[in-house]
Every structure is written in structure tokens, then in C-alpha cells.
Amino acid sequence: MTAIIAFLNAAIGQAIVILFGATGEILTEKSGNLNLGIPGIMYMGGISGLMGAFFYENASDSPNGVIGMLVSLLCALVVSALGGLLYCFLTVTLRANQNVVGLALTTFGVGFGNFFGGSISKLAGGVGQISVRTTAEVYRAPVPGLSGIPVIGEVLFSHGFMTYLGLLIAVIVTYVIKHTRKGLHLIAVGEDPSTADTAGISVTRYKYVATVTGATIAGLGGLYFVMEYLNGTWTNGSFGDRGWLAIAVVILALWKPTNAIWGSLLFGGLFVLDIYLPGLTRATKELVRVFPYIVTILVLIITSKRNKPENQPPESLGRAFFREER
Amino acid sequence: MTGGFHLTKRDGISRGKAVLIRLVAVLLSLIVCGLVIMAITGDNPVEVYAALIDGAVGSKNRLWNTIRSMMLLLIVAVGLTPAFKMRFWNIGAEGQILVGGIAAAGLMIYGGGSLPGAVLIPLILIVSTVSGLLWGLIPAFFKAYFNTNETLFTLMLNYVAIQLTNFAIILWESPKGSNSVGVINQASKAGWFPKLFGANDTMIVLLVLLVTVLMAVYLRYSKQGYEIAVVGESRDTARYAGINVKKVILRTMMISGGICGLAGAIIVCGASHTISTGITGGRGFTAIIVAWMSHFNALAMALVSAFLGFMQQGAIQIATQFGLNENASEIITGIILFFLIGSEFFINYRIGRKGGGKG
């Protein structure tokens, strides 16, 4: 039983990181932008949140965790929004190729994260390993009362507030896309920008808003990882390829954030499965870690073969819109 | 976003003007990089740039490092070119390099003791090419027959290849438990590219240039190269013209994946002499940008690769000299790429005042 609880909690810990990224990417892709810069943006969100909290805790004599939390949240949001804005400026305004811009942004973002993560303590005057325990404690505080319930409380309520925020955002984004006028307009922009433009929808504005909002949501995934998973520290390379897993979950979820909740849990489980599965050697553990990607590829093949329109990527995904070319 | 302005697509732009726009972009990116480095280190930007140049070409050794770095990027870009020309988004070069690299490392380990170099090295080059070719064939098959999205498919295959690499590393690790293969055949140098004309990297340069020239000729003068261009323009047109689109997709991705697999062998036998997930150095992704920005022109790809190789080696020097970590080079590469990508807009579009005459 304790092993199962430990496994579920580890899976949830992985899943929430992926969920933030996947929700952000789904919102982005709905506007027709395939933002392959999301993995980089998650790095940027994580490190900037950590740096914000770090400089606050260093500057204050008796740092307050809640203020540290707000500072780091703000830093992560602003920097990831800037990442999304840069992507939009290049792909929407300057009409550059989306894949190329996305990959460049990921190169930049991963470098940005590892550079500052690796040298921040040095830049701040050699204070050793950076750690923002006071702030991280606020992020990691379990739900009061409910987390005391045996088993159920341990699995469902022992997480910090960002876990529930991630779930809430996924539900809200799904609702907005499916049930509001703005959501319908967004789908129209992603499916057929020329027609949407003719109908008087500002394609440019929808692409910008969806992509920048998507980037900030994804950036929160990086922040969650740094604060709740790493407990307010940074190890270069530890974020790994979670950002790409988030993009994989988008496919698995068939472009619906509520599906992404289950998809993320599945991937989170598969991500840590090798630790909990008995009888594996170090070598076969590496092979078990292939599963999330194989599952994604299978989903990709099956959906393309079935060819149901509602399960497909948005029609204009990856292509720039140029009004004068209609 | 273009309020008050009017955009028209340029029909063509003189070569000189296009080059000028790119040079301005490079210059701006260098200024921004300088400012960023200055903001972080607080050092004089002139000193920083002097260190950068010193790091890239300051000694014979460093110059060779820069050349090698350029060549390894160039061959991956060359490998991606036919696929991109066909409008097939092969984002899977990282994986194709790795499977080629695994094959190369495996042959070095198992064949190093028994086969002479004259047999072993050609064998490695062939087997690695075939491995990359098969790895590239998988997404091509599903694209041709089910129209499966190749961007996402090839992207996912990268991570399958990474896990295969991790598996191979544990299989071959030395010493046991180190999670690293270490330098393969350090004493015997079996499978290592031999020194030619007094330099270690001559063979890399020759191989890469050979493949580059062959590819340029293939795309420009062969019937298959023409078919690739037609399929890239429009699949329907290609079909009407009697081109077997499925066959072209499969064949082209075999070539693309094959060259990336070969690149894996060149990296392992010529540069790293080991296998790890880090041997690609992100080239599979960077090369996509190089190939795209060069409009698949071989000379332009060589120039962009040289510039990026120069900046990356230079950034390593800056990092050591000013006590920063080596990831500074990724930030610098990123900034340069943003400027180069952005400059394409000014090459492709003409901006005029609204109400003004047609551009």
C-alpha cells in the first residue's frame, strides 16, 4: 500500500509539470501556432521564478514565504510571456517559419535556464548552492485538514496549491475553447484563418493572445517543477525532456485539455514506472522509459488513419497567415 | 500589427540586397550578444569579443575545433535539405544521428579487435548510414500511406532513439556502473578516423565536403532532385505530372535519414570516440534552422555553419575566461538565430506606407 501511494504521488508530481505544458501548448495550437519553443519556455519560467525568489530571499533579512511565492510567480509569468511574445513576433508579425522559430526558442530557453541555473550563485557572490526553502515551503504546503485523511488524503490532498491550479487551468481552458464565443473564434482562426478573417475576426490578435497565454501557462509548469518537485533548488539538466513530453500529451489528448489531465497522469506514471516496477535491470529500465513516446506515436498513427476531423490537429497548424495572399 | 503600413511579397530581391540585410542582422545580433554578456559579466565588450575571436581561431588547435564544429553541423544540414525541399519536416535528425552513432560505437567495440581499419571504417560508415536510413523510413512510410503528421512523428522518434542510446550505454559501459562508455579503443584506436595530411580532422572535412557537393549536384541536376522539388511545390501537381509521390517521399527520407546516420558515424569515429546522448550537441535541431535559413543553398549552409561554429567555440572561451558556465554558447546561438530568422522577413516582404503605390 505505501508503495502504491508513493508511486501515485510520484506520478502526480510528474504529471502536473507535463499538464501545465500540455494545456499551454493546446491553447497555442488551437490558434494554428505549433510552438515547439514550449520546452524552452518551461525552462525560462522555472529559472526566472527561482531567481526572483532567490534575490528576494537574499535581500531580505527575514524573508516571508508568501511574498517570495508572489515574486517568483510574477517573474515566471512575465518571462514566459516574453518568450511567447517573441515567438509570436517572429512567426505572426514577421511570418517566419514556426518550426524554425520554435526550435531556436527551445535552444535559447534551455541555454537560458542552464546558464543562469549554473551561474546564479556565482553572480550573486558565491553563496554556494542556491536554495529558496522559505518560498518553496509555501509552494509545497499540503491542503490543510484534508491531507490528514489516510490514503485518500495522502494521494489527493498532500500536494501544493499549484497542483490544483494546474487542474483548474486545464478545466477552464477546455471550457473557454468549447463553450464561449471567443473559443469558437479561436478554433475558426486555427482551422481556417482566411475565413475567420473574412468574418471579421482579428486573426493576429487571437494568435497573439492564445500563444502568449499558452506560454505563461506552460511557464508555470517549469515553476512548479523548480519549487514543488526540486524544493526550491536547481540542478542543470534535471528538467530533462519533460517539455517534449508535454507536446506529446497534446497529441495523446487529441487537443483537449481535460483529456490532457488523464494523458499527463498516464505519462507521469510511465515516467516513474521504472523506479517502482520490480525485476528491472538498469538497462531494461531505460527501455521502459520509451513507453510514453511509443504510445504517442501509436495515437498519432491511429488518429491519422481514422481521419475523424475532431481528433485532428487544427487545419492551419504550422502555417503562417498572410492576409494579402488570400 | 502593421497598422499604417502596407506589406507586399517581393517577387525577387537582388542577391546583393539580400546579403546586405543578413549582414545587418548578424551585426545587430553581435551587438545584442555583446550587451547581454556585458550585462552579465560587467566586462568590457571589446575584451569579450577579443576573447571570443581568440577562442575560435586563436591557435591551431582552436581553429581545428571550429572547423570540426562547422563540418559536423554542415553535414546534418545537408542531410535535412532533401526532406525539407520536399516539404517534409524532418525534425528527427537528432534520433537519426544517434542510431548511426550507436551502430558506429557497436562496431568499434565488437569489431575493433578483429577487423583491420581499412575494412572496419568503411563498414561503420555503411552500417551507420543504413541505420539512419531505416530510422528515417519509419515516419516516411506513415506519411506516405496514412498522411501521419511527420513533424510530431519524427520528434517523438528522437526520444525513442535517446532511450535506445541510454540502453546501449549501460550495455557497453566501462567501467561497469559508470553510466558512460568512456573512450572506445583508446589504446588501439581501432575505428578512429586516421590522421591524414598531418591533421586529425582531415577525414571529417573530406567526407562532409564530398557529401555536400554530391547533394548539391543531386538536387540540382538529377531527375530525382527535380521530382523532390515538384513534390515540395505541390503534391497534386506532382501527381498530375505522373510522379509517384509515395515513392519520392520514401526515397527522399531514406537519403535524408541515411546522411544523418552517416553524420552519427562521423561524430563517433572522428570526434567523440564514444557514444552518449550528448554527442549530437543539439546539431539535429540547429541544422534545421541552418538548412531553412540558407534556402537549401550549399554555400550558404557552409557559411552559416561556419559562423555558428565560430560563435560556439568562441563562447566556450568566453565562458572559461570570465568564469561563466558553458551554456552561454546556447544563449548566444539563440540570439543570433532570432535575428537571422527575423531578417528573412525583410528579404521576403517589402514594407510600404499604406495608400502608397504597389511595391
Residues A71-116 have pLDDT tens digits of: 999 999 999 999 999 999 999 988 888 988 998 899 899 988 888 8
Instruction: Give the per-residue pLDDT at A55.
Output: 85
Tell me which residue has cell 525568489.
A53
* CB–CB contact B345 A96 (8 Å): yes
Instruction: Give the per-residue pLDDT at B352.
Output: 67
* CB–CB contact B325 A119 (8 Å): yes
Residues A137-172 have pLDDT tens digits of: 888 877 777 777 777 777 777 788 889 999 999 999
Is B101 within 8 Å of B165 (Cβ atoms)? yes
Instruction: Give the per-residue pLDDT at B239.
Output: 84
Chain A residues with CB inside 8 Å of B328's CB? 111, 115
Report the range of poorest mean pLDDT among A72-86, A193-207, A301-315, B271-285: A301-315
Residues B213-238 have pLDDT tens digits of: 999 999 889 989 888 888 888 888 88
H helical segments located in B86-149:
93-111, 117-146
The answer to whether residue A326 scores a pLDDT higher than 50 is no
| C-alpha to C-alpha distance for B154 and A278, rounded to whole angstroms | 32
Identity of the amino acid at A264: S
Q: Which among B262, B269, B99, B96 has a CA at the least distance from the CA of B167?
A: B99
* Other beta carbons less than 10 A from residue B46's beta carbon: 10
* Beta-bridge partners for B7: B351
SS3 sequence of A27-79: HHHHCCCCCCCHHHHHHHHHHHHHHHHHHHHHHCCCCCHHHHHHHHHHHHHHH
User: How many secondary structure helices (H) and strands (E) does chain A include?
Assistant: 14, 0
Å between A27 CA and nearest CA of chain B:
17
Query: Residue A221 corresponds to which cell in the numbers above?
Result: 509548469
Mean of all residue pLDDT scores within chain A: 86
Instruction: Give the per-residue pLDDT at A213.
Output: 96
Query: How is chain B split into domains, by residue range?
Result: 70-304
pLDDT confidence of A309, banded at 50, 70, 90?
low
Which of A23-27, A288-292, B235-239, B332-336 ranks highest by mean pLDDT?
A23-27
Nearest to A96 among B325, B335, B341 (CB): B341
pLDDT confidence of B353, banded at 50, 70, 90?
low
* CB–CB contact B156 A300 (8 Å): yes
Chain A residues with CB inside 8 Å of B354's CB? none
Instruction: Give the per-residue pLDDT at B2.
Output: 45
The answer to whether residue A8 scores a pLDDT higher than 50 is yes
Instruction: Give the per-residue pLDDT at B357.
Output: 40
Residue A166 CB-density burial (10 A; 0-12 exposed, 13-18 middle, 19+ buried): buried
Query: Residue B22 corresponds to which cell in the numbers above?
Result: 543578413
* CB–CB contact A304 B342 (8 Å): no
pLDDT confidence of B359, banded at 50, 70, 90?
very low
* CB–CB contact A236 B153 (8 Å): no
Instruction: Give the per-residue pLDDT at A102.
Output: 92
pLDDT confidence of A42, banded at 50, 70, 90?
very high
Mean pLDDT, residues B174-190 taken together = 79
pLDDT confidence of B183, banded at 50, 70, 90?
confident
Tell me which residue has cell 535519414.
B257
ipTM of the complex in this document: 0.83
Instruction: Give the per-residue pLDDT at A47.
Output: 92
* CB–CB contact A114 B330 (8 Å): yes
| C-alpha to C-alpha distance for B273 and B185, rounded to whole angstroms | 8
Tell me the residue length of chain B.
359
Q: What residues contact B302, with CB distance under 8 A and at least 6 apart?
A: B70, B74, B212
Q: pTM of the entire structure?
A: 0.88
% of chain B exceeding 70 in pLDDT: 96
Quick one: DSSP state of residue B199? Answer: B
Instruction: Give the per-residue pLDDT at B265.
Output: 94
Strands B5-9 and B349-353: antiparallel
Would you call A81 helix, strand, or coil by DSSP?
Answer: helix
| C-alpha to C-alpha distance for B162 and B127, rounded to whole angstroms | 19
Chain B residues with CB inside 8 Å of A109's CB? 334
Mean pLDDT, residues A270-287 taken together = 82
* Other beta carbons less than 10 A from residue B45's beta carbon: 16
Residues B6-59 have pLDDT tens digits of: 677 776 677 778 888 888 988 898 888 888 877 777 777 777 778 888 888 878
Query: Residue B222 corresponds to which cell in the numbers above?
Result: 538529377
Residues B310-342 have pLDDT tens digits of: 888 888 887 777 777 777 778 888 888 888 888
Handedness of CA B42, B48, B49, B50 (dihedral sign): positive
Is B308 within 8 Å of B67 (Cβ atoms)? no
Instruction: Give the per-residue pLDDT at B114.
Output: 83
| C-alpha to C-alpha distance for B334 and B328, rounded to whole angstroms | 10
pLDDT confidence of A274, banded at 50, 70, 90?
confident
- Side-chain-facing half-sphere of B255: CA atoms under 13 Å: 25
My answer on whether omega of the bond before B122 falls inside 30° of 0, hence cis, is no
Q: What residues contact B109, with CB distance under 8 A and at least 6 apart?
A: B172, B184, B185
